[in-house]
Chains A and B, each alone.
Chain A
Amino acid sequence: MSKVLLEVEDLHTFFFTRRGVVKAVDGISFYVREGETFGLVGESACGKTVTALSILRLLPEPAGRIVAGKVVFDGTNLLELDKKEMRAYRGREISMILQDPMTSLNPVYSIGDQIAEAVRMRHDLPDNMVEPEVISALRLLKIPSPETILGEYPFQMSGGMRQRVVGAIAMSCRPRLLIADEPTTALDATIQAQYLALFKDVQKKTNISIIFITHDFGVVANMCHRVGVMYAGKIVETATTSELFKAPKHPYTVAMMDSVPRLDHKDKRLYSIKGQPPSLMNLPPGCRFYPRCSVATDVCRKREPHQVEISDGHSVSCWRVQ
């Protein structure tokens, strides 16, 4: 098996706001191997984006702070680096595709400029090498006629095209780890499928590691080797994708699986979980899923379940699966 590239250990990221402390990420651990796609899946506002930004140390300051934990990339704890050392990891080692393609391009610079900047950061390329690199980055993302697009501005492009350009920027730094934050939410179904295929293609060509963030279990099944299921700031279940779909254990995972529309079970009704996730400012004392859980027991309300490894590489945090 290939070696572990990134290991996140017991990460806590809180937001200190006027109204109180938001525990957006409350002790999560996972790892990603080289050439592997790790899925981070969960409902919106469960802390996926905050996890990703914590890895890159790009939280909105001064409210957002990493309170405890480790982010070990290729043997180095990123949280112990100073600002300058950290910057060397961004782009060249770890890159990210932000969630919203409409706003992640700078409106006043052309596409070519914005990619060239990333290319130049990689290593000191001679000037005449920059443009071919930019074009090959656009080609990698299957952007049609890349030469003509260089002088265009973001507002001149469709959402799908911007999404690809953002992808091209992230890839053009040739990172070893790419974090893709819900990269397909803004796209319609057919383009979505193409775009996902692109990721696989790129991974085959470059052996890059990917953290794939999504709220869609269908996409997870398609894309990821292993998955972490997040709920209210914690990872409640981790497993390989095949194991997770064959034998989901956590009641939240099970419920989420049921809510995936399956093409093969046409009659199956679309079922989503009743109720709202808890406020991250005011977490209940026991299991975070307790208020919505259909199989909860008394102990669930009082004490938080801890994580148990039930088989090789499959861990669950639930009193029912101890």
Chain B
Amino acid sequence: MATTKLMGLDKVSGVKRPKSIFLNLTFIIPAVVLLVAMIMAIFAPLLAPYPYDQIALTDRLMPPAFMEGGSTAHILGTDLVGRDILSRLIYGAQISLSVALMVIVITAGVGTALGIVAGYLGGRTDGFLMRVTDISLAFPAILIALLFAATIGPGYWTVVIAISMLGWAPYARLIRGEALKLRETDFVAQARIIGTSPVRIMVRHIFPNIINPLIIMSTLAVGMVILTEAVLSYLGAGIPPPAASWGNMVNDGRSLLDVAWWISTFPGVAIGLVVMAGNFMGDWLRDKLDPRLRQI
């Protein structure tokens, strides 16, 4: 029989796509970046060559070590008042990551509770909570944050609370969807038949089944929170100086671009790296734990 060979048929049968190295790198590189950031955050006082606020007017505006006029004493250079950029970067990790941790604990807690209640109870409760969620999702967090800064003043907790004010909404929406599906499962029906109380069903039967989405969402939230904190601090509504936040460090260099590009540049690179690592990690976890959640 005359056959048009469009492809070597014989070659086809054994074909299996080789596991690409790229797939593994999407896990290893982000993991390393996050690990380094965490180590910097936890051991900042041990790792940083100088205190974050040590002023040295004789060493002002020193360029990074690899440039002419730089010195290995300040590998990434110094700022306007001679503070060591590298040390401030290391302390900045502390702020970024701890804000992220706080916000995620708060928002995941609140959002999960509301999401489960809305999804499991349904009806009016659900309708009301989801409308509030929708509005919160569409509300610019920056307005709330600036409002907090204007009334109770900028500061660590102001930032944490301001970001959390709206940050619970994406959790609530995701978890509600999951709870809605779980409500229809046999094991929940079973529990209801034997007269288990709603609270107990939500805690013992629904919650354990939404842990995967919760982990994925929380990982993806790391980047979001770090970016928001950085924006607020950059604008002067976040972590106030002299504390070293990556956001306010970028601001320090804004007016010195023509003489000291390094002040603004390095902290931005740090933000970009950590946020990207968080996002990649979240994507990777999602593909491993729950590929269905491709949407979030």
Interface residues of A (CB under 8 A from B): 9-10, 12, 14, 16, 18, 20-21, 29, 65-70, 77, 79-80
Contacts and interface: CB of A to CB of B under 8 A. Distances in A.
B194 interface: no
Contacts of A10: 1, 3
B5 A68 contact: yes
Interface of B: 1-7, 9, 12-13, 15-17
Nearest to A70: B4
Contacts of B4: 68-70, 77, 79-80
Contact of B6 (A18, A20, A21, A67): A67
28 contacts: A9-B1, A9-B2, A9-B3, A10-B1, A10-B3, A12-B9, A14-B12, A16-B15, A16-B17, A18-B17, A21-B12, A21-B13, A21-B15, A21-B16, A29-B1, A66-B6, A67-B9, A67-B12, A68-B4, A68-B5, A68-B6, A68-B9, A69-B3, A70-B2, A70-B3, A70-B4, A77-B4, A80-B4
Given A9-B2, A18-B17, 15 more contacts: A12-B9, A16-B15, A21-B12, A21-B13, A21-B16, A67-B7, A67-B12, A68-B3, A68-B6, A68-B9, A69-B4, A70-B3, A77-B4, A79-B4, A79-B6
Contacts of A68: 3-7, 9
Contact of B7 (A29, A65, A70, A77): A65
Nearest to A80: B4
Contacts of A20: 16
A67 B8 CA distance: 8
Contacts, number: 38
Contacts of B12: 14, 21, 67
A14 B5 CA distance: 14
B286 to A, nearest CB: 16
Contacts of A16: 15, 17
Nearest to B14: A21
Contacts of B13: 21
B7 to A, nearest CB: 5
A65 B13 CA distance: 13
Contacts of B17: 16, 18
Contacts of B6: 66-69, 79
Contacts of B1: 9-10, 29
A149 to B, nearest CB: 35
A140 B6 CA distance: 40
A14 B15 CA distance: 11
Contacts of B3: 9-10, 68-70
Identify the 7 closest CB pairs spanning chains A and B, nearest first.
A68-B9, A10-B3, A67-B7, A70-B4, A68-B5, A68-B3, A10-B1
A77 B2 CA distance: 12
Contacts of B16: 20-21
A69 B9 CA distance: 10
Nearest to B19: A18
A183 B118 CA distance: 41
A67 B4 CA distance: 9
A272 to B, nearest CB: 27
A31 B26 CA distance: 50
Contacts of A29: 1
A40 to B, nearest CB: 20
A18 B6 CA distance: 22
Contacts of A14: 12
A20 B5 CA distance: 21
A68 B1 CA distance: 12
Contacts of B5: 68
B267 to A, nearest CB: 39
B12 to A, nearest CB: 6
